[in-house]
Amino acid sequence: MSDCLFCKIARGEIPANVAYEDDEMLAFHDINPVSPLHVLLIPKKHIASLLDLSRDDEALAGRMLARAGELARRLGYGQNGARFVFNAGRDGGQTVGHLHLHILGGRAHGWPPG
């Protein structure tokens, strides 16, 4: 989508500190990290949120989860663990309307979330 912030990052029109990239997804460090590790993993294809994921996107979503775990392990969080979060819609606290998986590490994350 032309005016979507994360589509612009995926196209390289807005710079980001990239942690992982392949032909269908991109991971980059959050501009306002809430944990020592705070990476966002997005599909390059515009999908508005988890609530908008279609059956056609199931394989892509599965690969995203697998890459997220790999990335966290590669960055050194395999032992102590990490928090993986999809915020979706207003009550989910989503502020950017392009599907993204938060990967948070480097501290203990409480439950329930705020």
Name the residues annotated as catalytic: 100
79 binds, among Zn ion, ligand 5GP, none (CB under 5 to 8 A by kind): none
User: Tokens standing for 38?
Assistant: 């705070």
Q: Looking at 7, 20, 96, 109, which residue binds ligand 5GP (CB under 6 A)? A: 96
Q: Looking at 29, 38, 44, 46, which residue binds Zn ion (CB under 5 A)? A: 46
User: Tokens standing for 93?
Assistant: 């606290």
Q: Looking at 16, 27, 71, 98, which residue binds Zn ion (CB under 5 A)? A: 98
Q: Is 4 exposed, middle or buried (0-12, 13-18, 19+ CB in 10 A)?
A: middle
Q: Tell me if 95 contacts ligand 5GP by CB under 6 A.
A: yes
Q: Do residues 93 and 24 make contact, with C-beta atoms less than 8 angstroms apart?
A: no
